[in-house]
Amino acid sequence: MGNDTTNSVVQYSVKLRHPQLPTAFCAALSQQFGQRFVQTRAICEQHGRDESCYDPMPPQAVLFVHTTEEVADAVRLCRQYQVPVIAFGTGTSLEGHLLAIQGGLCLDLSAMQQILAMHTDDLTVRVQAGVTRKQLNHALRDSGFFFPIDPGADASLGGMAATRASGTNAVRYGTMRDNTLALTAVMADGSIVQCGSRAKKSSTGYDLTRLLVGSEGTLGIITELELKIYPQPESTAVAVCSFADTVSAVRCVMLAMQTGIALARVEFLDKHSARALNTYAKLNLPEQALLLFEFHGSAQGVAEQAQQVQEIALELGGGNFAWATAQEERNRLWAARHQAYFALLHMRPGGRAITTDCCVPISQLADLIATTEQDCERHQMIFSIIGHVGDGNFHLLMMVDPAQPQEMALAESINSAMVERALACGGTCSGEHGI
């Protein structure tokens, strides 16, 4: 490494007031990893941000690792020299997980991309932590199976496990908690542990696999995972339906679930999301409270479920049913749903979106969304609400100008009030993004 790069890292260290990385520590990493140990400013900056609204806080160095053993070696050195360490997958987290507030070393696992085993007879696969969900599904495509967890971003599976990610398919297929059978992780002392097994069930000892899932790197760095996969459904249908208000839309989902209809996905979009998407993605959605349904099953099963849901929706005043069974049309609708965040950003160029992630018992959901909407409207906030409504989980997105402290404070107070209401009715402040 030349002086330039070293200097720029020093600048950062000074700016953030971190002690410089110990020379012997850097020398040891350079010796073992050569050019995969990087202190250049651009690379560090890239690794000090995620998709949250926070300002970046770069680590002091980045190490590109290839194996579990390399992670263990690096962690042992971090421990020896008391250097903080953060694991990096794809940088798509939403709560500032990657911000190196204490500086230190970022371990980039994105090159750990091997699919180690496909046990289609057992409906499991084993992957390195850097494999992304889309890469896995690409590899599975011709096998007749798929991996359902879909947080929107093409995140790494290790990162998804670390943050207990879920997304649109969770209502039917569960979250990373339910779909991680076993894992390999590196502990803080550099030891390598194996938790869980390929067996579907176990009653032997503590469930350390689920303890690590969702631990956000604080207990260890996940390097390999054994995941559940599922048969690709014989038939899939998507439907959009509009409602006069949030209460009716949420009630429709509750009744469908109480009837035992196995919704594969059911997403709520408020009128602001619909409007933003119409502008941004050139769609023609009714600008009302919307539900976006997906059904999986046999052709006959899907038709039956869809019919039942349509009957429930009609009773609640739902209308404008639009069906999509062709793959292309379905993909277009789901792509739109995943663009809701960017569509809102587009509504206020130069602004920043503050995302939230409350999850409550579904009986409490309509009330909480309605109160939150009123709060935002009273304060003339530019906002939208999207929700994994089958799980009682929703995201309020608020557009703010980060240069306006009073706007930031207002958004913060709306969020705080909402979180307190969520906690008071038995919910949580984060359904899937982490803390």
204 binding a second copy? (CB under 8 A): yes
With CB under 8 A as the contact rule, the residue among 258, 371, 404, 416 that binds a second copy is 258
What's the rounded Cα separation, in Å, for the pair 271 and 246?
Answer: 10
199 binding a second copy? (CB under 8 A): yes
Q: Are 435 and 216 in contact (CB under 8 A)?
A: yes
What's the rounded Cα separation, in Å, for the pair 195 and 405?
Answer: 46
φ and ψ at residue 40, rounded to 5 degrees? -70, 145
Q: Mask: binding to a second copy, 28-67, rule CB under 8 A, as x and -?
A: ----------------------------------------
The residue (of 192 and 382) whose beta carbon lies closer to a second copy is 192
What's the rounded Cα separation, in Å, for the pair 356 and 354?
Answer: 7
The residue (of 151 and 318) whose beta carbon lies closer to a second copy is 151
For 97, 188, 346, the CA distances from 74, given in Å and listed in that order, are 20, 10, 41
Torsion on CA atoms 142, 229, 296, 326, rounded to nearest 10: -30
Q: Are 238 and 334 in contact (CB under 8 A)?
A: yes
What's the rounded Cα separation, in Å, for the pair 70 and 63?
Answer: 10
Torsion on CA atoms 123, 125, 130, 132, rounded to nearest 10: -30
Q: Are 102 and 18 in contact (CB under 8 A)?
A: yes
203 binding a second copy? (CB under 8 A): yes
With CB under 8 A as the contact rule, the residue among 47, 49, 133, 164 that binds a second copy is 164
Residues 273-332 that bind a second copy (CB under 8 A): 297-298, 300-301, 304
Residues 225-244 that bind a second copy (CB under 8 A): 230-234
Q: How far is the CB of 75 from a second copy (least distance, A)?
A: 20
Total site size for a second copy, rule CB under 8 A: 68
Q: Which residue has the tokens 């059911």?
A: 266
The residue (of 107 and 362) whose beta carbon lies closer to a second copy is 362
The residue (of 118 and 283) whose beta carbon lies closer to a second copy is 118
The residue (of 382 and 429) whose beta carbon lies closer to a second copy is 429
The residue (of 391 and 407) whose beta carbon lies closer to a second copy is 391
With CB under 8 A as the contact rule, the residue among 42, 101, 361, 409 that binds a second copy is 361
DSSP state of 22: P
φ and ψ at residue 285, rounded to 5 degrees? -80, 145
Residues 362-401 that bind a second copy (CB under 8 A): 362-363, 391-393
What's the rounded Cα separation, in Å, for the pair 265 and 262?
Answer: 9
Binding positions for a second copy, rule: CB under 8 A? 119-124, 144, 163-166, 170, 174-175, 177-178, 197-207, 210-211, 213-215, 219, 230-234, 254, 257-260, 262, 297-298, 300-301, 304, 357, 359-363, 391-393, 426-435
